[in-house]
């Protein structure tokens, strides 16, 4: 079993340091940590694509938080299915959940839907604030 890590921030102005430190503290070697500075609403990410090609059956992927892997529920379900078909487990450090087993996958699906709804609410409030600022 090999342990890999994945970290993502949404913009190039944000830092990956906290996530990378958490992954290293959890036992992930530096050369097995894949990163992206891209939106979580897309699965077309260079670091994620490299990770997908690298993992094989029995491997484990650690991610600091669920929303760092993705923010779109359908995309998250597809990623989890893909990793599960390869025999790869995904574990979320802060959330204390894993995709091992049906219950874990169900919890990930529910929390992904919550994260997606939260993202939509943030976008709505941001747009409302911009509209009010124009008045």
Catalytic residue list: 10
Structure tokens at 88: 């790869």
CA dist., res. 50 & res. 98, Å (int): 21
CA dist., res. 85 & res. 89, Å (int): 10
Beta bridge partners of 37: 9
Q: Mention every residue, 6+ apart, whose C-beta is less than 8 A from residue 70.
A: 40, 41, 43, 76, 79, 112
- Cβ atoms of 72 and 41 within 8 Å: the answer is yes
């Amino acid at each position: 079993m090999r342990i890999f890590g994945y970290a993502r921030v949404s913009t190039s102005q944000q830092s990956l340091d906290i996530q990378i430190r958490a992954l290293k503290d959890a036992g992930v070697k530096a050369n097995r940590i894949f990163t992206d500075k891209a939106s979580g609403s897309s699965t077309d990410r260079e670091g994620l694509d490299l990770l997908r090609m690298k993992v094989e059956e029995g491997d484990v992927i650690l991610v600091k938080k669920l929303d760092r892997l993705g923010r779109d529920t359908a995309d998250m379900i597809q990623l989890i299915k893909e990793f599960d078909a390869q025999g790869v487990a995904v574990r979320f450090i802060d959330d204390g959940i894993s995709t091992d087993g049906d219950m874990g996958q169900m919890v990930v699906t529910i929390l992904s839907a919550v994260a997606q709804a939260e993202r939509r609410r943030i976008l709505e409030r941001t747009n409302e604030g911009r509209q009010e600022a124009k008045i």
